[in-house]
Amino acid sequence: MFFVVFSMVLVPTANPAVKVFKNCTELNKVYPGGIALPGAVNTGGTTKKTPKYNKVLYVANIKSDRDKDGIACEK
């Protein structure tokens, strides 16, 4: 007679803290094209770089979206 014992340990995954940037200069050092909500369209003219699309990151830095187009610190 054989017995099989399984053990499962569930470890919660920690979400890394979302970085809140002081200003666009600091944000653009890490994200040269800015940060955006998924599906956001730039209304402030043409840009040279593509933003990082991330809702959580955008919401944490929404104060930096001066033209309220869903893209903060676009270049």
At 9-51, the pLDDT tens digits run 555 555 568 999 999 999 999 999 999 999 998 887 888 999 9
Calculate mean pLDDT across residues 55-65. 97
pLDDT of 69:
94
Please, which residues have CB within 8 angstroms of residue 7's CB and are 6 or more apart in sequence? none
Strand order in the sheet with 52-53: 52-53, 35-36, 71-72
Task: Give the start-end residues of each E strand in the chain.
Answer: 35-36, 52-53, 71-72
Tokens describing residue 55: 């809702």
Residue 19 CA to residue 3 CA, distance in Å, equals: 49
